[in-house]
């Protein structure tokens, strides 16, 4: 697979040759294809992704996706408000875990 190291490389950077199937689907399909579809902006995709991760309690993935959302133009105030809003719909523990990740990412960015 000579094209595996072109385009997005986050999956490869995380797993290298350990999980080539997951690397392929992450890098080529998810980020090189799905994230590049023109029907939603990267900002909207990031906002939706953060919401989905908060809702499903996937706080570990937020370590990547919150800063990625900030890169795409989502503001820190919007991240905090999104998490606060979702607390009432997806559960307080999910929101508390997500807010802890957001706070750590904010502090890391502002050091």
What is the per-residue pLDDT for 2? 42
- In order of their start, the domains of the chain are 8-36 (no CATH), 42-109 (1.20.1290.10)
From the centroid of its chain, how far is CA 110? Answer: 19
CB-CB contact of 86 with 55 (8 Å):
yes
Give the global pTM. 0.91
> Which among 44, 41, 14, 42 is positioned nearest to 26, based on CA atoms?
14
Consecutive 10-residue runs of the chain (111 residues): their mean pLDDT? 69 95 97 97 98 98 98 98 98 98 97 92
What is the per-residue pLDDT for 1? 43
């Amino acid at each position: 697979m000579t094209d595996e190291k072109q385009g997005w490389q986050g999956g490869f950077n995380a797993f290298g040759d350990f999980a080539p199937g997951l690397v392929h689907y992450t890098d080529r399909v998810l980020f090189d294809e799905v994230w590049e579809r023109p029907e939603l902006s990267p900002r909207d995709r990031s906002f939706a992704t953060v919401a989905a991760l908060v809702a499903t309690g996937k706080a570990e993935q937020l370590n990547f996706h919150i800063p990625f959302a900030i890169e795409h133009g989502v503001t820190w105030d919007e991240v905090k408000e999104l998490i606060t809003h979702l607390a009432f719909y997806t559960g307080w523990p999910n929101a508390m875990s997500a807010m802890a990740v957001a706070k750590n990412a904010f502090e890391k960015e502002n050091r």
